[in-house]
Amino acid sequence: MIRSTRGLITTGVLALVLGLIIMFPARVAIGWFAPAEVAISGIQGSVWYGSANEAAVNGIYVRNVQWRLNALRLFTGKLSYSVEATPVSGFLETDISVGFSGALTLSDLTAALPLDLFAGVSGVPGLQGNASLTFERLEIVDGLATVANGTVQIANLKIPIVGRDSLGGYKAEFFTQNNGISASIEDTDGVLDLAGSLQIRADRSFAFIAQVIAKPETPQSIRKQLQFLPPANARGQQELRLEGIL
């Protein structure tokens, strides 16, 4: 009888704890744990399954956010959610995992996003265009991508500091190496014939090096800027190089 009573009490306590976890209000959890740079409104549901009307992270704004806890991944030492959201236009779907070390991992990421979402965080005022992202895995530690395996395609790129005209479309293939992240970049229908590479190192330094050639449709404003690049090689290519710290 005693064992039976203890068993019932243990079962009851476990059921209560499980129920609290499953039904724990998302509004309370986000208030406790969300970083200061994360703003979320219209929260409904629980940490298990819920939604929010709006969310903004470092100036990147999305709407109609929905999440669902991937419970089995708790056994891998990660808190994982399947997340869907809608930016001003386009969509975003991904699995987001947070490790106990603080690493943020996005897997099976697919998204179509307007580039003006990133005008603030990129430091490029007036940035415009549309981006399509497909990443098998993207891992971020302390704000720096340390793993990136996927593709970014950009259409109708506009950068006001370069010129008023559209720069066309470009494609970047990202892959992870021992010394950081690399990407091969080429134009798809850009106003310049461009082929280059991007390297992002663990010390936050980056280097973008490309060979460019003007096309018949290259705007005159862009042609004038090409005059400031090194002289063309035997193939008519000029080197475009950008280096710095993220």
Which residues span the domain enclosing 202? 2-245
User: Alpha carbon of 203 to those of 88, 102, 146, 180: distances in Å?
Assistant: 34, 18, 10, 9
**Domain total of the chain:** 1
pLDDT for 46-102, tens place per residue?
A: 777 888 888 877 667 888 988 888 877 666 666 788 989 988 888 999 998 876 666
Angstrom distance (rounded) from CA 66 to CA 86? 10
User: Alpha carbon of 86 to those of 39, 108, 114, 202: distances in Å?
Assistant: 16, 17, 11, 31
- The pTM assigned to this predicted structure is 0.79
Identify the pLDDT of residue 19.
42
Cβ distance 95 to 69 under 8 Å?
A: no
pLDDT for 119-149, tens place per residue?
A: 776 777 888 999 999 999 998 887 788 899 9
Which position has the higher pLDDT, 25 or 107? 107
Residue whose structure tokens are 């059921």: 15
pLDDT for 164-220, tens place per residue?
A: 888 999 999 999 988 889 999 999 999 999 999 999 998 889 999 999 999 999 999
